[in-house]
Amino acid sequence: MLTKLAGARLYDPANGRDGAVGDLFVRDGRIVADPGPGAAPDEVHDLSGRVVMAGAIDIHSHIAGGKVNIARLLMAEEHRAAAQEPCGCVGLATPSTHATGCRYAQMGYTAAFEPAMLPSNARHAHLEMADIPLIDTGGYLVLGNDDLLLELLASGAGEEAVADYVGFMLNATRSLAVKAVNPGGINAFKYNQRRLDVDENGPFHAITPRRILTSLAGAVQRLGIPHPLHLHGFNLGVPGNVEATLDSIAAVDGLRLHLTHVQFHAYGAEGDRKFSSSAARVAEAVNRRPNISVDVGQIMFGQTVTASADTMAQMNNAGLAHPKKWVMMDIECDAGCGVVPFRYRDKVFVNALQWAIGLELFLLIEDPWRVFLTTDHPNGAPFTSYPELIRLLMDRDHRLARMAELHPALPEHTILGSLTREYSLGEIATMTRAAPARILGLTDRGHLGPGAVADITVYTDRPDRRAMFEKPDLVFKDGRLIVRDGVVVAVLQGRTHVVEPAYDPTIESWMARRFDERMGQRLTHFRIAEEEIRGGTGLVRHACLPGAF
């Protein structure tokens, strides 16, 4: 079947199109070249005047796994509305799997990636992601506090051995990338330590976070994983943590590094409140170093729940829980988990400045290919707040009006009011489509060129950018229409994206002995078989590029 999307304004940064009027042709789920005057399309959509982009891609959203389900249990009040919602779309900060897929698709998203999949929980996380309809998924494997890696480093293992370990773990857990959460800090928390600085030895293995960070970043690069090490940095949410953030950038010494939810790591300790914005310092460092990319983790006001493997940070935040309940847990030899409900208030100075810091980062980082639109769902806000965030970035008048409603001391502590930049539609398409696909190695996603998967979103160009991005006219997944005027009209299953780097299999005998000694399962049972992922169908493998970076 040949489908023609006619007369659209195409925003396709990967192919150099910035509002150019043209036609798209779709056959068998992929975009194809113009078949010529002799081919009669089976279906034609007249999109004259309308904006067309590839399906959006969220590189960092907590959508599956242990802590997500703990959050759902803790926030049971969000799910009591199920009886009143026949579509099953319940939960705001903690949506069900069905609601997650529907709400993403209704905003024009066709992929979202779980950024914190623990090795011991990977099988469950994959089962849950497979239950999310309409969008593609994948997981980033959390390493950096796991006993086996720390033992390798403490034993003096070289770069090759560390890379072999990481390569095996990525293959065994069917992961797309590697995530490090407060490297060394979660392990230190298990020994009753409540803080671990970048160059401080951990309490058991006597390894510094700097060494863990550089070893993992080096292994990711050595293996040719398209996405750089995805780093949840040090001292999350602590005034003055910008120094640790800048130290992390310097520590990798030119290796590629992705700083996640960097808004939470861009805090100074200046001023009479001992809490200040260091967004300008972080942005300057990113602008000067092409090896660094970030996602922001913007906070938006309202009730949410914070869920993180960083038990050290979450224990510090437990006293701020709203409502007053929280969960902390230790996860065998992997990491940990902390779930703390939280309400961001616009009249609270700290929350207002956090909001401003995130926007400062968006507006000060110059390259839209290296800054990504996230709220660290649900930690900063539910992902459903993206349309309002886009409006804040594209409409300075709206931004200033919203700022005037916040804590009265805010203007004295932020440069946000002086920033005149407004994102263009092309820049929004870059940071939400083309750039996420490129940094994840998804070569046939995020663009509208021939050969691309036909994940396509159609908008009416509205001055109110929130209204525009909140309710697309049409959304196609794999060439099939799934959303019309914000309503899901067809339900289909997405795919799971993975990488399979090469490694020396002799590492497995060393690992098998240690699994027998200290883990709750044998190594042979730990490895996830291909048929366990969506019944053996829908697995998309992406090439590794050894030595490419």
3-state secondary structure of 193: coil
| pLDDT reported for residue 194 | 84
pTM over 0.85: yes
Q: Which residues of 48-68 are buried (b: 16+ CB within 10 A; e: fewer)?
A: eebbbbbbbbbbbbbbbbbbb
Distance of CA 488 to the CA centre of its chain: 24
What pLDDT, in 10s, does the model give residues 434-490? 999 999 999 999 999 999 999 999 999 999 999 999 999 999 999 999 999 999 999
| pLDDT reported for residue 89 | 67
The residue among 188, 179, 159 whose CA lies nearest residue 119 is 179
Do 422 and 396 contact (CB within 8 A), yes or no?
yes
| pLDDT reported for residue 213 | 97
Do 209 and 234 contact (CB within 8 A), yes or no?
yes
Model confidence at 342: pLDDT above 50: yes
Residues whose CB falls within 8 Å of the CB of residue 232, separated by 6 or more in sequence, listed in order:
116, 179, 180, 181, 182, 260, 261, 308, 309, 310
Residues whose CB falls within 8 Å of the CB of residue 68, separated by 6 or more in sequence, listed in order:
62, 94, 128, 307
Model confidence at 520: pLDDT above 90: no
Give, in degrees to the nearest 5, the angle at Cα 309 between 303 and 314: 55
**Beta-sheet pairing, 2-12 with 43-46:** parallel
Do 56 and 66 contact (CB within 8 A), yes or no?
no
What pLDDT, in 10s, does the model give residues 176-202? 999 999 999 999 888 888 888 888 998
Do 252 and 211 contact (CB within 8 A), yes or no?
no
Structure tokens at 85: 């919602």
CA distances from 233 to 189, 289, 310, 357 (A): 15, 18, 10, 17
Q: For residues 319 and 470, what is the distance between their CA atoms, to the nearest angstrom?
A: 34
Instruction: Give the model's confidence band at 549: pLDDT under 50 very low, under 70 low, under 90 confident, else very high.
Output: very low
Do 502 and 168 contact (CB within 8 A), yes or no?
no
Residue labelled with tokens 């100074």: 268
CA distances from 280 to 75, 265, 277, 287, 479 (A): 36, 12, 8, 10, 42
What pLDDT, in 10s, does the model give residues 220-240? 999 999 999 999 999 999 999
| pLDDT reported for residue 519 | 86
What pLDDT, in 10s, does the model give residues 119-160? 999 999 999 999 999 999 999 999 999 999 999 999 999 999
| pLDDT reported for residue 88 | 58
| pLDDT reported for residue 37 | 82
Q: Hey, which residues does 36 pair with through a beta bridge?
A: none
Residue labelled with tokens 């070893």: 215
The residue among 102, 8, 6, 44 whose CA lies nearest residue 425 is 8
Q: Hey, which residues does 109 pair with through a beta bridge?
A: 56
What pLDDT, in 10s, does the model give residues 35-48? 988 888 999 999 99
